[in-house]
Amino acid sequence: MRSLLFTPGDSDRKLTKGLTCGADVILIDLEDAVAPDNKAAARDMTAEFLTRDAARNATMPLYVRINDLETEWAEDDLARIVPAKPAGIMLPKAQSHNDVVRLAGMLDKLEQSANLERGSISVLVIALETPEALLNIASFQACDPRVSGITWGSEDLATGLGAHASRDASGAYRSPIELARALCLAAGSAAGVHVIDTVYADFRDLDGLKRDAERAAADGFSGKLAIHPDQVAVINAAFTPAEDEIARARRIVEAFDAQPGAGVINLDGAMVDMPHLQNARKLLERAGLS
């Protein structure tokens, strides 16, 4: 999960185009991208799209962001979308792990009704969009088996906190937003799932996106949300390990394999221990080489 591209659920043209943009995951959006009066039409269009051969044969998983569980639309979203067999559901504005449990229970019943294998639909959680979620972030480490990843939302959180903006004049996150970013990374890492960085809102500023994505990759995030197809290549590049990094990781793994039981080894005159081995394995997994 390097790049996850949002695609409006009420635009057939954009849904079709999304399949060719090179994103690792497509997030079909029924929430923010769809006006209230168009929710039902978007739901129907998305369900129909998921049954097409082009979607069924897509090389990337197709997730659907439903509306917030507290809205009038969420149950209808799930009832219409689950029989169309999406790869996953994106849960917005989760307040705590209890919302994940609630969604999992709803999916259990709907999968059974649709004769789908229980647990076949994954869940991607937006865990930090509200002040309440910020206070409850530790609960998300108790991860449901369905959960494939966790992410956060800077703009909604800033609004909920009453901040004038999520970033200051220099472009850096304001301190409460930076805190949320770090806590999301910690919660996802503790849960052992993909940790996805939030969107970079200015889709025309690819240089800014590059800096933002490279920082996220260096900090430990495994991918980043995208809101425009032009952002996908930049994000993929930032989260794809370089050849020298891959070569180094392979040498570390091979060195430990050659010395079973060793806790520390000497490699090129430097001491390498178990955290280095774990990081090397994670890097090779991210590169698709594990």
Would you list the DSSP string of 130-183?
Answer: SHHHHHTGGGGGS--TTEEEEEE-HHHHHHHHT-S-SB-TTSPBPHHHHHHHHH
Q: Is 93 helix (H, G, I), strand (E, B) or coil?
A: coil
Provide the 10 A C-beta neighbour count for residue 16.
14
Residues 229, 198: Cα–Cα separation, whole Å: 15
At 241, is the pLDDT very low, low, confident or very high (cuts 50, 70, 90)? Answer: confident
Residue 248: is its pLDDT beyond 90?
A: no
Residue 123: is its pLDDT beyond 90?
A: yes
Residue 288: is its pLDDT beyond 80?
A: no
Residues 67, 248: Cα–Cα separation, whole Å: 44
Domain at 3-239, CATH from 3.20.20.60, 3.30.465.10, 3.40.50.10490, 3.40.640.10: 3.20.20.60
Answer with the residue of higher pLDDT: 172 or 287: 172
Kindly list the domain boundaries of the chain, sorted by start residue. 3-239, 243-286
Q: What is the per-residue pLDDT across 16-54, written as a single tens digit (0 to 9) for each?
A: 999 999 999 999 999 999 999 999 999 999 999 999 999
Q: What is the per-residue pLDDT across 127-146, written as a single tens digit (0 to 9) for each?
A: 999 999 999 999 998 878 99
Give residue 91's pLDDT. Answer: 98
The answer to whether 39 touches 30, Cβ cutoff 8 Å, is yes
Give residue 272's pLDDT. Answer: 86
Residues 246, 226: Cα–Cα separation, whole Å: 25
Residue 289: is its pLDDT beyond 70?
A: no
Residue 115: is its pLDDT beyond 70?
A: yes
At 106, is the pLDDT very low, low, confident or very high (cuts 50, 70, 90)? Answer: very high
Give residue 156's pLDDT. Answer: 94
Residues 101, 111: Cα–Cα separation, whole Å: 15
What is the mean pLDDT of the segment spanning 267-279?
Answer: 83
Task: Report which secondary-structure segment, H or E, holds 50.
Answer: helix 39-50
What is the mean pLDDT of the segment spanning 167-187?
Answer: 95
Provide the 10 A C-beta neighbour count for residue 132.
12
What is the mean pLDDT of the segment spanning 192-221?
Answer: 95
Among positive and negative, which fits the CA dihedral 73, 107, 131, 193?
Answer: negative
Residue 287: is its pLDDT beyond 80?
A: no
Longest distance between any two alpha carbons in the chain, whole Å: 65
DSSP string, 203-268: TT-HHHHHHHHHHHHHHT--EEEESSTHHHHHHHHHHSPPHHHHHHHHHHHHHHHHSTT-SEEEET
Give residue 290's pLDDT. Answer: 60
Percent of the chain surpassing pLDDT 90:
80
Q: What is the mean pLDDT of the chain?
A: 93
At 203, is the pLDDT very low, low, confident or very high (cuts 50, 70, 90)? Answer: very high
Rounded to 10 degrees, the C-alpha dihedral 181/61/32/36 comes to -150
Which residue type occupies 179?
Answer: L
Q: Is 92 helix (H, G, I), strand (E, B) or coil?
A: coil
The answer to whether 25 touches 60, Cβ cutoff 8 Å, is yes
pTM: 0.88
